Amino acid sequence: MLAMQKKQNKKQGEQGRQGERFISLLPCLIALVSGILMGLTVAPVGAWFLAWIALAPLWVLVATSDKHKNQSPPAPPALFWGISYHGVALSWITGIHPMTWLGVPWLPSLAITLFCWGFISLLGGIFVAIWAAVMVRLAGQKPWLRILIGTAVWCGLESLWSAGPLWWSSLAYTQSPHNLVIVHLGQLSGPNTVTAAIVAVNGLIAEAYINRLSFSTRGCANGTLRERIASRREDTKISSVFFAPLRFVNKYLATATGLLITLHFIGFILSSRPIAQPPEAALKVGIVQGNIPNRLLRSSEGFRRAQENYTNGYLTLANQGVDAVLTPEGALPIFQRNLLETALVAAVKEKGVVAWIGAFGERGDSYTISLFTFNTKGEIVSRYDKAKLVPLGEYIPFEGILGKLVQRLSPLDAHQVAGSANQLFDTPFGRAIASICYESAFPEQFRRQAAAGGQFILSSSNDAHYTASMPFQHHAQDIMRAIETDRWSARATNTGYSAFVDPHGRTLWMSGYNTYETHAETIYRRQTKTLYVRWGDWLTPLLLISSGGAWLVIRGIKKFGNVGNP
């Protein structure tokens, strides 16, 4: 009998320990799921509305982490949230495998792909963990201060990350291209305006839950039975006026709703402004989507097809009366010195229609990915070199330190170099805002060129080696840049999606995927300057300064109060 009792106690103890382990892992599981939900906001799913609630569970976990003995420290859940969000959103990176067309064997190709995907996801997790660490220090602060500082720190971290070479999945891009009204907030202070809105609304929803939880706990633990009954009677008396029990009225939830509506209303006003289209500013641009798979582009057959497709496309558009033709990044994979000998340039000389041709520039012993302007005589009159290169894909990080070891892991030539950060791209039609592929994720590239007089956007890309969700996300990035700078945009890609976008982010035309296409559309040169173009991202410093100042003031008041009341 005693042995059976011991066995039962042991079994119950084991079950209890399993329950405790599950409880300790529950925050990480919740964070993992909510991060995945945030990742589903972008292509291919595009559930943009989830962005307004998917951060709230992590906020609750972090803000209440010191109140639960069995709960994990805030860093692991935050790390899980960041890894799952960025991992899901950037899952298209796996599309680079296999890289056998670059001469990389299947297994090393898989290893490189998984490393790239894992590293960028982990980096995103680390940034969220840093945010969580700051938030834990604010656990005892007032909710409004937590919201202010939490929003400021998140925006500050995104600004810091976007200043480096690896950047793509801002919270702001979760709203493009489906919620263009809120994306218009980018005209005020860039994409961090949209990010701040998302974080603040999530924070208010989380604080509403925390406040409701605290209210319920206080209601059960504090006060005598008579006091609690009296309180309920008072609630009922007040609710007769509002037709709802007071316990269901939460000021944070009401504020979140009001803020969400107000922000969308501001975005609606910005998106409703008419776009001037004076005839003298019109520019009819043609796009050629050559549809040459990257596995063929490096071969003689691929080059032959590229020459044929882009030359025929140029001639078709020239016969339609376009003013200029835009080709994708690396449309002709040859160096500048060989461009003049191509059939495409010969067609430019014959038809006298300006062409922007993607090819390779030269800089000493190195080369650049470039976009060249050919005038009506077939002469090169301007050149833009890609300034933001993809790490490992287009250059070797820390090449001078790691040397040959890293070169042996890289599938590409390590002698590709970036263009200067302060380039301007002048064309026969005025100054343009130029962007080549990866640069679409860096709003400062566009803002600087718009502030320097860029009148329209030319985006040239090659997304052929990724899955279809990547070019759609790329298109979403270009939409944000068009709205932020208040410019028309022409986007040419190798295999899709090519598109034309107006200053309100509306897609006038978008190509198919993995198709050969030509299309012409009239865009308009503009010289307007949004608040963001004029001042840059002024909101993030303002949030950081105001939140830091508020924290210091409240801390000083508390210290003064403690000194005065020993």
Give the count of beta carbons closer than 10 Å to the beta carbon of residue 15: 10
Task: State the pLDDT at residue 411.
Answer: 41
Residue 301: per-residue pLDDT: 87
Annotated active-site residue 116? The verdict is: no
> Does a structural domain hold residue 314?
yes
Residues of the chain with pLDDT under 50: 69-70, 219-248, 401-414
**Inside any domain, residue 534:** no
Query: 222 and 303 share a domain?
Result: no
On whether both 40 and 179 belong to a single domain, the answer is: yes
How many domains in the chain?
2
- Domain of 130 in residue numbering reads as 20-273+541-560
Give yes or no: residues 122 and 83 share one domain.
yes
Q: State residue 478's pLDDT score.
A: 98
Asked if the structure places residue 535 within a domain, the reply is no
pLDDT, residue 9, reads 58
- Active-site residue, 329 included: yes
Query: Please, which residues have CB within 8 angstroms of residue 365's CB and are 6 or more apart in sequence?
Result: 415
Q: Find the catalytic residue in 386, 394, 439, 484.
A: 386
Q: Which two three-digit tokens encode residue 532?
A: 């963001």
pLDDT (tens digit, 9 = 90+) per residue, 511-564? 999 999 999 999 999 999 999 999 999 999 999 999 999 888 887 787 766 655
Question: 425 is written with which tokens?
Answer: 């791209």
199: left (phi over 0), alpha (psi -120 to 50) or beta: alpha
Q: What is the pLDDT of residue 198?
A: 98
pLDDT value at residue 463: 87
Q: How many CA atoms lie within 13 A of 131 on its CB side?
A: 32
432 & 513 share domain = yes
Q: Residue ranges of the alpha helices (H) in 298-342?
A: 300-319, 336-339
Query: Which of the residues 158, 207, 329, 521 is marked catalytic?
Result: 329
Does the annotation mark 437 as catalytic?
yes
Q: Are 83 and 199 members of one domain?
A: yes
pLDDT (0 to 100) of residue 466: 83
Claim to verify: residue 136 and residue 237 sit in the same structural domain:
yes
Total residue length of the chain: 566
Whether the ω angle into residue 524 lies within 30 degrees of 0, i.e. cis, is no
78 vs 233: CA distance, rounded Å:
42
pLDDT at residue 10, rounded to an integer: 57
Same domain, 130 and 66: yes
pTM for the model stands at 0.89
- Is residue 214 a contact partner of residue 252, using CB atoms and an 8 Å limit? no
Q: pLDDT digit string (tens) for 249-287?
A: 589 999 999 999 999 999 999 999 999 999 999 999 999
Instruction: Out of 28, 207, 437, 484, pick the active-site residue.
Output: 437
368 and 498 share one domain: yes
The answer as to whether 246 is a domain residue is yes
Residues 366 and 334 both lie in one domain? yes
Note the pLDDT of residue 304: 92
Q: What CATH number does residue 372 fall under?
A: 3.60.110.10
Residue 10 lies in a domain: no
How many CA atoms lie within 13 Å of 372's alpha carbon, on the beta-carbon side?
28
Buried b (16+ CB within 10 A) or exposed e, 21-55: eeeebbbbebbbebbbbbbbbbbeebebebbbbbb
